[in-house]
Structure 1
Amino acid sequence: MRAGAGPVAAPRRALVTGASSGLGRAFALGMAARGVDVVLVGRGADRLEAPAEEVRAAGASAEVLVADLAGEPGRRSVAERIADGTAPVDLVVNSAGLLGRIAPLAEQEPADLEEAIAVGITAIVDLTRASVAAMPARGGGAVLNVSSFMGYVPAPQGAVYAAAKAFTTSFSESVHCEVAGRGVHVTALCPGSVRTGLHRDSGRSGGRLGRYLEPDTVVEEGLAAVRAGEPICVPGMEYRIKVKLGAVLPRAAVRRRVLRIWRQ
């Protein structure tokens, strides 16, 4: 990964989407442990209660914002919170995402695909735009968009999810180049298989991309990349090697390897 554009100041308040579970919850708690106040965003107030209490128990303040990022009203409410200068957010972690059902594209429901695209692409664009529009006037800030190693490889039966992650990585790097000179940094975090409930909820137990990464490890590497102003972070040496190999191997060889994994 190419060098970033310089170090980033430590945040005072972070907004984390998908904060009720998985990596979003891990980021919320990781920020609180570092003394950073947290705005927790999720679909249901009941599911945000426990992580909010954990944030407060760590000594940080917790603000709960209920919003469904699959819909325009939810995305607008989060964008307005990012733009609000009364309690400014200087780190936005876009961690909400939907893997959805693992199945051939022809068997997927159009409504489910639209929801996955709204959360995995439209929300990333809307909330990143809101962040880079508001942060320069406040002296800077950062956006961490949670992408995936799956954006680097074909993903049969997970085509929309993988394509959304490829978009997130490319989009984040492009916007990073646009705004780094204005004191704002955008980082794409591209973990492989993480020990969360994401794959369990998809209904599939096999097809891991490599060794499981622990959520806390992914959080630490992601925040380190933000501090360094790096545009792309691939946690774990195994996955960094795979990304480099995938860039030089013939795509036919990559596809064969992926198909072997997916058939497990």
Structure 2
Amino acid sequence: MTMTYTGTTALITGASSGLGSEFAARFAARGANLVLTARRTERLEEVARKLRDAHGISVTTLSKDLSRPGAGAEIHEELTDRGIRIDTLINNAGFGTRSPLVEEDPTVIASEISLNVAALVDTTRAFLPEMLSTGKGALINVASTAAFQPVPGMAVYGASKAFVLSFTEALAHETKDSGLRVFALCPGATRTEFFDVLGSQAAAVGRLQSASEVIDTALRALDRPTTPVSVVSGWGNRVLAGMAQRLPRHLSLAIAGRAVQD
């Protein structure tokens, strides 16, 4: 069954490119009105204009730096003042760094933790009560295949995504009787700007997927009668994630370190 979202509103973070803009296009095609957030105002407005023209939906844009403390609650307050209620939240904003921790810039990794972890929790907590009250939408938190094992050379990023996976699976259980569909989406290497920000393609383990392929995985999960608590995009990635969970910890750690650092 294909889920439709006509008459609902979806909030998508990190919506100016990559997975975020693809999520926006797919939910617009299924009838949802949108609230899109990102730091890059011009890119965000361009995405919004195209979706309004293509689908005749309402698109609200908010230029926000979610790594600032309290940004999620600030967005909720602003939308409440405008009379906009959110049915679906897609926490997509995030970035990664790749270096041994001792070489990382403390300011950058603090921002990484703030965006990947604190902002996701803050935004989820701000909007969860109203999403539960309608039970018509979904909560999708974008994790990563990096969540399934420690990742030497990307220690902060891997740990942040492990948090997202654990947090989301727990929320899925807490809300299982509500009608809200909650799951963690775990992509592997994807053709987005992620690796441009990272500064290297060396951490791209396995076949690169397109953003469209990853969102196909998310939508199939939403369309299932029972939504899984987490889903890995790509057959090869599912195999690798399964192996990481079954191998002795020291072996999965060594394999991940070799894959990322080579």
Q: TM-score, normalised by structure 1?
A: 0.90
Q: In structure 2, give the amino acid aligned to 1:254.
A: S
Contact 1:10 1:227 in 2 (8 A): no
> What is the count of residue pairs matched by the alignment?
257
Question: Which residue identity lines up with residue 221 of structure 1 in the other structure?
Answer: T
Gap change, CA 1:8 and 1:169, over 3 Å in 2:
farther
| Mapped contact 1:141–1:185 kept (Cα < 8 A) | yes
Q: Give 1:54's aligned residue.
A: 50
1:13-64 CA-partner distances (Å, limit 9, x unpaired): 2110000112111111121222222111011322212111121122132110
What is aligned with 1:10? 4
Gap regions ≥5 residues in structure 2: none
Matching of residues 1-264 of structure 1 within 5 Å: 10-11=4-5, 12-59=8-55, 60-80=57-77, 86-100=83-97, 102-228=98-224, 229-264=227-262
| 2:116–2:160 Cα contact (<8 Å) kept | yes
Shift of 1:79: 2.8
CA contact (8 A) 1:13 1:39 kept: yes
Q: Deviations over 1:227-250 (max 9, x none)?
A: 332210111111111121122112
Which amino acid in 1 is paired with 2:89? Answer: V
- Is the CA contact (8 Å cut-off) linking 1:103 and 1:158 kept in structure 2? yes
Deviation at 1:137, TM superposition (A): 2.2
Percent sequence identity is: 34
Amino acid corresponding to residue 261 of structure 2 in structure 1:
R
Q: Aligned pair in 2 of structure 1 residues 157, 122: CA closer, same or farther (>3 Å)?
A: same
- 8 Å CA contact 2:142, 2:184 repeated in 1: yes
Q: Which runs of 5+ in 1 are unaligned?
A: 1-6
Q: Counterpart of 1:50 in structure 2: which amino acid?
A: E
Q: Which amino acid aligns with 2:95?
A: L
Determine if contact 1:79/1:126 at 8 Å carries over to the other structure: no
Distance 2:17 2:133 in 1: 32
Cα distance, 1:263–1:163 mapped onto 2, change above 3 Å: closer
Contact 1:104–1:157 (CA under 8 A) maintained in structure 2: yes
In 2, Cα distance between equivalents of 1:212 and 1:231: 24
SS of structure 2 residue aligned to 1:207: coil
In structure 1, how many angstroms separate the alpha carbons of the residues matched to 2:78 and 2:167?
22
SS in 2 for 1:188: strand
Aligned AA for 1:91? T
For 2:69, the aligned partner's letter is: E
Of 132-141 and 147-156, more deviation after overlay is shown by: 132-141
8 A Cα contact 1:140 1:182, kept in partner: no
Given residue 88 of structure 1, which amino acid in structure 2 is its aligned partner?
R
Output the CA distance in 2 between the equivalents of 1:129 and 1:176.
13
